[in-house]
Structure 1
Amino acid sequence: MNTEQQTVLPRSLSEIEAALYICMSRSFLRQARMDGKRDNRTPAPPFIKIGRSVRYLREDLDSWLDSQQKLDHLGQISLKATG
């Protein structure tokens, strides 16, 4: 009997999977969700709620990563982010 295994790449990720995907901690994702965009903190990646579960869509995580400021050196960090 020949059984083929198919790998399914899920579109939505749990908090743990999303943290691994973007190389950040679960606590960063939790705190960012609670803080929103206040206090010049890094905003949370978009997320969805399905019942009591928090899920992150791969395409949203990719877009969020692409939207982060890219630096050549630390002198490029804006004064808003540091003060």
Structure 2
Amino acid sequence: MTATLDVPRQRPSERLWSVADAAAFLGVPAKTLYQWRYQETGPPSHRVGRYVRYVPDEVHAWVQAQP
């Protein structure tokens, strides 16, 4: 009998966005997101290991909060 792993499937809303995903959603170049991150003016971002990731709900909230 082979053992199967129960790997929970993520719903699309639970998946973290890469820089490319967030840039595509916002319609800006990835370089702009990196600049905003450095200047601390863009949507909240998180370092996961060596990668930068975005929580979709936080990006949506950031967009709504923009004047």
Task: Give the TM-score, by structure 1 length.
Answer: 0.63
Aligned to 1:55: 53
* Cα separation, 2, equivalents of 1:11 and 1:21: 14
Structure 1 stretches of 4+ with a deviation exceeding 3 A read none
**Structure with the larger RCO, 1 or 2 (CA within 8 Å, 6+ apart):** 2
Report the structure number with the largest CA radius of gyration. Answer: 1
Task: Give the TM-score, by structure 2 length.
Answer: 0.76
Q: What secondary structure does 1:46 align onto?
A: coil
Alignment gaps of 5+ in structure 2:
1-10
Aligned to 1:17: 21
Aligned to 1:31: 35
* RMSD across aligned positions (CA): 1.8
* Cα separation, 2, equivalents of 1:23 and 1:57: 17
Identity of counterpart residues, as a percentage?
29
Alignment gaps of 5+ in structure 1:
1-7, 37-42, 70-83
* Cα separation, 2, equivalents of 1:66 and 1:11: 20
